[in-house]
Amino acid sequence: MTEPISPFKGKTGLARILNAVGYSWAGLRAAFQHEDAFRQEVLLLLPLLPLAIYLGDSGIERALMIGSLLGVLIVELLNSAVEAAVDRVSLERHPLIKRAKDMGSAAVMIALLNVVVVWALLLLD
Protein backbone atom coordinates (compact mmCIF):
# COMPACT_ATOMS: atom_id res chain seq x y z
CA MET A 1 0.00 0.00 0.00
CA THR A 2 1.49 3.33 -1.04
CA GLU A 3 0.80 6.61 0.63
CA PRO A 4 -1.01 9.26 -1.41
CA ILE A 5 1.35 11.84 -2.87
CA SER A 6 0.51 15.47 -2.35
CA PRO A 7 0.24 17.49 -5.59
CA PHE A 8 2.11 20.27 -3.78
CA LYS A 9 5.24 18.14 -3.31
CA GLY A 10 6.24 17.88 -6.99
CA LYS A 11 8.18 21.10 -7.33
CA THR A 12 11.96 21.14 -7.07
CA GLY A 13 14.77 23.63 -7.47
CA LEU A 14 14.00 27.29 -8.06
CA ALA A 15 10.26 26.67 -8.56
CA ARG A 16 10.08 25.12 -5.08
CA ILE A 17 11.95 28.04 -3.52
CA LEU A 18 9.73 30.61 -5.25
CA ASN A 19 6.59 28.73 -4.15
CA ALA A 20 7.89 28.55 -0.57
CA VAL A 21 8.58 32.29 -0.51
CA GLY A 22 5.09 32.99 -1.86
CA TYR A 23 3.48 30.75 0.76
CA SER A 24 5.53 32.39 3.50
CA TRP A 25 4.49 35.90 2.46
CA ALA A 26 0.87 34.76 2.25
CA GLY A 27 1.16 33.38 5.79
CA LEU A 28 2.63 36.62 7.11
CA ARG A 29 -0.09 38.65 5.38
CA ALA A 30 -2.80 36.36 6.76
CA ALA A 31 -1.38 36.59 10.28
CA PHE A 32 -1.21 40.37 10.08
CA GLN A 33 -4.74 40.65 8.67
CA HIS A 34 -6.48 38.15 10.93
CA GLU A 35 -4.52 37.92 14.19
CA ASP A 36 -4.69 40.83 16.64
CA ALA A 37 -1.94 39.35 18.81
CA PHE A 38 0.43 39.10 15.83
CA ARG A 39 -0.18 42.74 14.92
CA GLN A 40 0.45 43.79 18.54
CA GLU A 41 3.68 41.82 18.65
CA VAL A 42 4.84 43.34 15.36
CA LEU A 43 4.10 46.79 16.81
CA LEU A 44 6.16 45.82 19.87
CA LEU A 45 9.00 44.67 17.63
CA LEU A 46 9.15 47.87 15.56
CA PRO A 47 10.62 50.14 18.26
CA LEU A 48 12.53 47.34 20.01
CA LEU A 49 14.42 46.18 16.92
CA PRO A 50 16.35 49.44 16.39
CA LEU A 51 16.73 49.71 20.17
CA ALA A 52 18.37 46.27 20.24
CA ILE A 53 20.80 47.36 17.54
CA TYR A 54 21.61 50.54 19.48
CA LEU A 55 21.83 49.02 22.97
CA GLY A 56 23.67 45.81 22.09
CA ASP A 57 27.38 46.15 22.82
CA SER A 58 28.39 43.32 20.49
CA GLY A 59 27.05 41.32 17.60
CA ILE A 60 26.21 38.50 19.97
CA GLU A 61 24.19 40.78 22.26
CA ARG A 62 22.34 42.26 19.29
CA ALA A 63 21.67 38.77 17.92
CA LEU A 64 20.29 37.58 21.26
CA MET A 65 18.05 40.61 21.65
CA ILE A 66 16.76 40.48 18.08
CA GLY A 67 16.47 36.68 18.16
CA SER A 68 14.32 36.82 21.27
CA LEU A 69 12.00 39.31 19.53
CA LEU A 70 11.74 37.20 16.38
CA GLY A 71 11.13 34.16 18.55
CA VAL A 72 7.90 35.75 19.77
CA LEU A 73 6.68 36.17 16.19
CA ILE A 74 7.64 32.60 15.31
CA VAL A 75 5.79 31.17 18.29
CA GLU A 76 2.77 33.39 17.61
CA LEU A 77 2.63 32.19 14.00
CA LEU A 78 2.73 28.56 15.15
CA ASN A 79 0.09 29.24 17.81
CA SER A 80 -2.16 30.92 15.26
CA ALA A 81 -1.67 28.02 12.84
CA VAL A 82 -2.67 25.51 15.52
CA GLU A 83 -5.73 27.58 16.42
CA ALA A 84 -6.79 27.92 12.79
CA ALA A 85 -6.40 24.19 12.17
CA VAL A 86 -8.30 23.30 15.35
CA ASP A 87 -11.08 25.76 14.50
CA ARG A 88 -11.31 24.29 10.99
CA VAL A 89 -11.84 20.82 12.44
CA SER A 90 -14.37 21.81 15.09
CA LEU A 91 -15.73 24.87 16.84
CA GLU A 92 -17.26 22.82 19.65
CA ARG A 93 -16.04 23.20 23.20
CA HIS A 94 -13.88 20.21 23.93
CA PRO A 95 -11.21 19.64 26.60
CA LEU A 96 -8.60 18.65 24.01
CA ILE A 97 -9.28 21.75 21.91
CA LYS A 98 -8.99 23.91 25.02
CA ARG A 99 -5.76 22.16 25.95
CA ALA A 100 -4.25 22.72 22.50
CA LYS A 101 -5.18 26.41 22.50
CA ASP A 102 -4.01 26.92 26.09
CA MET A 103 -0.67 25.27 25.31
CA GLY A 104 -0.20 27.55 22.30
CA SER A 105 -0.97 30.55 24.46
CA ALA A 106 1.49 29.34 27.09
CA ALA A 107 4.19 29.01 24.42
CA VAL A 108 3.65 32.65 23.39
CA MET A 109 3.79 33.75 27.04
CA ILE A 110 7.09 31.91 27.54
CA ALA A 111 8.49 33.51 24.37
CA LEU A 112 7.53 36.95 25.71
CA LEU A 113 9.06 36.12 29.08
CA ASN A 114 12.21 35.07 27.23
CA VAL A 115 12.43 38.57 25.71
CA VAL A 116 12.25 40.12 29.16
CA VAL A 117 14.87 37.76 30.60
CA VAL A 118 17.32 38.10 27.68
CA TRP A 119 17.04 41.87 27.56
CA ALA A 120 17.31 42.23 31.34
CA LEU A 121 20.37 39.98 31.57
CA LEU A 122 22.12 41.80 28.76
CA LEU A 123 21.22 45.34 29.80
CA LEU A 124 21.77 44.90 33.53
CA ASP A 125 25.13 43.15 33.13
**What are the domain boundaries of the chain?**
36-123
76 is catalytic: yes
Active-site residue (options: 35, 41, 61, 76): 76
pTM of this prediction?
0.86
| Fold of the CATH domain 36-123 | Helix Hairpins (1.10.287)
Per-residue pLDDT tens over the stretch 52-95:
999 999 999 999 999 999 999 999 999 999 999 999 998 889 99
Query: Is pLDDT at 119 greater than 80 in this prediction?
Result: yes
Q: How many whole angstroms separate alpha carbon 125 and alpha carbon 120?
A: 8
Q: Among 52, 76, 49, which residue's Cα sits nearest to residue 62?
A: 52
Task: Give the containing element (helix H, strand E) for 7.
Answer: none
Q: How many whole angstroms separate alpha carbon 56 and alpha carbon 123?
A: 8
Taken in order 108, 75, 22, 46, the sign of the CA dihedral is: positive
Contacting residues for 27 by C-beta, under 8 A, at least 6 apart: 77
Residue 57: strand, helix, or coil: coil
